[in-house]
Amino acid sequence: MSLVKLTIKGISYSQTQNGAYALILNEVDGERKLPIVIGAFEAQSIAIALEKEIKPPRPLTHDLFKSFADRFDIVVKQVIIHKLVDGVFYSSIICERDKIEEIIDARTSDAIALALRFNAPIFTYKNILDKAGIYLNTNPTDLENQNADDEGILSTPETFGLDNEGKPGDIYVSMSLSELHEALEKAVQDEDYEKAAKIRDEISKRES
């Protein structure tokens, strides 16, 4: 299976559900986005790694791992998002020490946080991107006019994780497949990547 290189587009956060973030990965040689729901700690760690000027007073867990690896001459060569099951992404960290390569299983959020610190490329398989990637039709003029302050915050969802009455709950379970596909299309058009990821995961569960 062919590998597709990904870059980090940014992180979207929910104002209504504590701890809910969406990491947006972008296809290098294409227009598809791959939203992955991650936790608050991992989102913070990735955001700090993206902002080179921010240096926490004490090492975060991923910084400690980097220091540990450097001390023992371990290099992270690349990260591969290799599996998607029931909306959960599985990743591998490809490491090397003394010219011996090792593959370590990792949560995708941890793997990407480490990839940033090692300047290692991030890949996924084409079939995963075909299944979980979403297209965003963006007008180039809109990109030119985009406020630079908005970069990194790709959406500000207001109803993620709420039902029609504004109460917590997963409304997608009760929706039909056709309704889910319509909702997914609308979420993509609104650039609400967090909601799109949630809907896509529900679709993936039913179609797998």
Residue pLDDT, tens place only, 33-69: 998 988 888 988 998 898 876 677 788 899 999 999 9
pLDDT of 202 over the 50 cut? yes
In the chain, what percentage of residues exceed pLDDT 70?
Answer: 76
pLDDT in tens, 87-114: 889 999 999 999 999 999 999 999 999 9
pLDDT score recorded for residue 53: 65
Cα-based distances in Å from 96 to 72, 74, 102, 122, 201 = 11, 6, 6, 16, 33
Highest-confidence range of 38-47, 141-150, 152-161, by mean pLDDT? 38-47
Position 78 pLDDT exceeds 60: yes
What does the pLDDT average to over 157-182?
Answer: 58
- Residue 193 binned pLDDT confidence (cut-offs 50, 70, 90): low
pLDDT band of 135, cuts 50, 70, 90: confident
Average pLDDT value for the chain? 79
